[in-house]
Amino acid sequence: MGSLAVGFTGSATYELLPTLVRAYADRHPEVSLDVHSDMVTPRQVAALLDGSLGVGILRPPVTVAGLAVEAIRREPVVVLIASRHPISVKREIDLVDLRDEWFVSYPNNPPSTMFTIMQSACETAGFAPRIRQVVADSAALVALVAADMGVALVPASLRHLRINGATFRPLRSPRITTGLALAYRESDVNPLVRRFLEVTRTVVRSRNAVEAPTAAPVDDDYRFTLEF
């Protein structure tokens, strides 16, 4: 019946992609999905506009003429640190306590949503982050943190990507959340796109209903409450 190109932002690649692709394949086995994983929001927006993506799962805000953006959930932003870092003994971390640390960051040119969130949060805490490494790939970001090259602020759902030597802690102050959204061209909601949107809404509603009332593990020892 055809092929649909879909983009996934970093944390959604490791958390939502497996469930969503399986659900779509079960319902529409005649359609082939062309999956583009770990794409930051600016790259997805450009690909949606030039037609190389049919649907994007990205992090808002996105205000671009011709694109429809549909929020599907919110999640906490947490601290990613090396397991051997002295501050890992804390159950929760105040961002101001990281003012003297190096940071590993998502791209800043053009600025990704998570880069903007990191900059704004650090400014609120009274300091400018010292950025040592900039990477677009979430797996590389977690690996660099595990190597003790710096700390990072990441969506809580990135905990699904487990790399030895890295661990996650909730932010006590400030409390920050980030969104996840579907994006697609308003003028091109063809049957393949429409079916993918329908399946995504169903899958996300189901996951939110299961996860929202419960405490979700940050790692094996520490927990926080997801605020969808």
Tell me the pLDDT tens digit for each residue of 83-134. 999 999 999 999 999 999 999 999 999 999 999 999 999 999 999 999 999 9
Residue 225 scores a pLDDT above 90: no
Q: How far is residue 163's CA from residue 180's CA, in Å, rounded to a whole number?
A: 23
Give me the pLDDT at residue 223, please: 32
Residues 189 and 171 in one domain: no
Residues 83 and 163 in one domain: yes
- Please state the domain count of the chain: 2
Q: Which of 47, 81, 43 is nearest to 59 (CA)?
A: 43
Rg, C-alpha atoms of the chain = 18
Residues 118/98, Cβ–Cβ less than 8 Å: no
Write out pLDDT tens, residues 149-204. Answer: 999 999 999 999 989 999 999 999 999 999 999 999 999 899 999 999 999 999 99
Q: How confident is the model at residue 30 (pLDDT cuts 50, 70, 90)?
A: very high
Residue with tokens 């497996």: 18
pTM here? 0.87
Residues 154 and 219 in one domain: no
Domain boundary among 176, 192, 214: 176
Range of the domain at 87: 75-176
Residues 84 and 57 in one domain: no
Q: How confident is the model at residue 213 (pLDDT cuts 50, 70, 90)?
A: very low
Please give the distance of CA 142 from its chain centroid, rounded to a whole number. Answer: 13
